[in-house]
Amino acid sequence: MSILDDPRFAGIKPFESKVWLSSPTMHGDEQKWVDEAIATNWVSTVGANINEIERQVAEYIGINHAVALSSGTAALHLAIKLAGERLYGQPKVGHGTLEGRKVFCSDMTFDATVNPVAYEGGEAVFIDTERDTWNMDPVALERAFELYPEVKLIVVAHLYGTPGKVDELRAVADAHGALIVEDAAESLGATYKGAQTGTFGDISIISFNGNKIITGSAGGMLLTNDGEEANKCRKWSTQSREDAPWYQHEELGYNYRMSNIVAGVVRGQLPYLDEHIAQKKVIYERYKDGLADLPVTMNPLGEDCEPNYWLSCLLIDEDAMASQVRGEQDVLYTTEPGKSTPTEILNAISAINAEGRPIWKPMHIQPIYRMNPFVTRTGNGRARSNAYIAESGFEDVGANIFHRGLCMPSDNKMTSEQQDVIISIIHRCFE
């Protein structure tokens, strides 16, 4: 039985072609640069497309150097390794740069933000989320330094395209002499007090993954003002070959460089970044207006910033939540008049051939990380059961947003008619 058989959804028909959460939008220029790479045989990890996008992105973001890599995750790995080397020096081969060290990390984010800490042998300490921008809470971060004063590295993400509380986070980091690795994978083009995200970290990264605001089909970049460090990352990303007549290796290497084909796609996309942002903003505002009469709020945009509106998200008011209990891989929910749940809305969205998604499940309640420390404004502890989170006064902002929130279809190729159907479906969930 489909959820559409419920009389509340009478008359609603699934879309003929799927409406995606956020899918690649090609414009044609990509083909030209890819063709040129093929025609000239520059298809590997050297070529004009790579050089050109490194120049263009550095200029757009306002940073001295951009290093083109195979993914945002690879960029995060090298950024975190670089930070680890700056702080603690080069480790012996077989040991990570962060071996035995704690690192403060965003909690409500994709696991790619934090996994590289583990690649380098470190232990992530998760910092709770604030409600104003859904990013790392500077108050919880300050508390974390009281508990772990020895920590010297912070990994911060800007979620869904909205910059976090950059000034407050930087003030806490500086007060404790800590470095910031900034994960701007989702926020390319967003600004805080007029400056681009990607300029706030001691080292920063962006992603060109297929679902991002622009894409290279894959790819990412490391951003830094330090030319020597940029070159070091280029070297690490190409197996750390020394400048010798033979294959000479003095440190660990990786196969992380971007290909000139991928760079051709990025090169074709870059002129459309601002257009994509404008389209996503229209989508966000249409949802905001269309859902204004429901007991829900949109993902907050924060002050002093202009987001890139990558994903439009919804948060159901606490007292408009029907019952929803999530296990590790399954979920149960009830239907109640005037109330709904993220699960019900996601099921309804899926039934009409559209794609939504739960909010990122916080890292501190992920099986892989639930034994890691977790610091909130009001306490510190480890994993809590969903029932505990729902019923106790323990303030776990990330888990609460995960419980009540969802990402709505935010594809810039979605028509306003399709978006109106989605808005209507969400209304019917609350009937």
Ligand X SMILES: Cc1ncc(COP(=O)(O)O)c(C=O)c1O
**What is the rounded distance in angstroms from the CA atom of residue 261 to the CA atom of residue 46?**
10
**What is the rounded distance in angstroms from the CA atom of residue 22 to the CA atom of residue 276?**
11
Please report how close the Cβ of residue 208 comes to ligand X at its closest, in angstroms: 6
Of 110 and 430, CB closest to ligand X: 110
Could you tell me if 130 and 139 are in contact, meaning their C-beta atoms sit under 8 angstroms apart? yes
**What is the rounded distance in angstroms from the CA atom of residue 410 to the CA atom of residue 22?**
6
Of 113 and 340, CB closest to ligand X: 113
Of 115 and 380, CB closest to ligand X: 115
Please report how close the Cβ of residue 56 comes to ligand X at its closest, in angstroms: 18
Please report how close the Cβ of residue 430 comes to ligand X at its closest, in angstroms: 29
Of 71 and 376, CB closest to ligand X: 71
Query: Looking at beta carbons, which residue is closest to ligand X?
Result: 72
**What is the rounded distance in angstroms from the CA atom of residue 93 to the CA atom of residue 226?**
25
Please report how close the Cβ of residue 424 comes to ligand X at its closest, in angstroms: 29
Of 389 and 407, CB closest to ligand X: 407
Distances in Å between the Cα of 100 and the Cα atoms of 79, 95, 122, 322 are 18, 10, 6, 43
> How many residues belong to the chain?
431
Q: Is 250 in a helix, a strand, or coil?
A: coil
Please report how close the Cβ of residue 343 comes to ligand X at its closest, in angstroms: 22
Distances in Å between the Cα of 396 and the Cα atoms of 46, 299, 386, 431 are 47, 17, 11, 29
Helix (H) or strand (E) holding 139, with range, is: helix 138-147
**What is the rounded distance in angstroms from the CA atom of residue 385 to the CA atom of residue 392?**
10
**What is the rounded distance in angstroms from the CA atom of residue 243 to the CA atom of residue 222?**
22
Of 99 and 111, CB closest to ligand X: 111
Residues that bind ligand X in the complex, under the rule CB under 6 A: 71-73, 109-110, 112-113, 157, 183, 185-186, 207, 209, 220
Of 115 and 376, CB closest to ligand X: 115
Please report how close the Cβ of residue 193 comes to ligand X at its closest, in angstroms: 21
Please report how close the Cβ of residue 112 comes to ligand X at its closest, in angstroms: 4
Of 112 and 178, CB closest to ligand X: 112
Please report how close the Cβ of residue 428 comes to ligand X at its closest, in angstroms: 31
How do 331-333 and 324-326 pair as beta strands?
antiparallel
Distances in Å between the Cα of 315 and the Cα atoms of 4, 127, 175, 296, 299 are 23, 21, 34, 5, 7
**What is the rounded distance in angstroms from the CA atom of residue 410 to the CA atom of residue 97?**
38
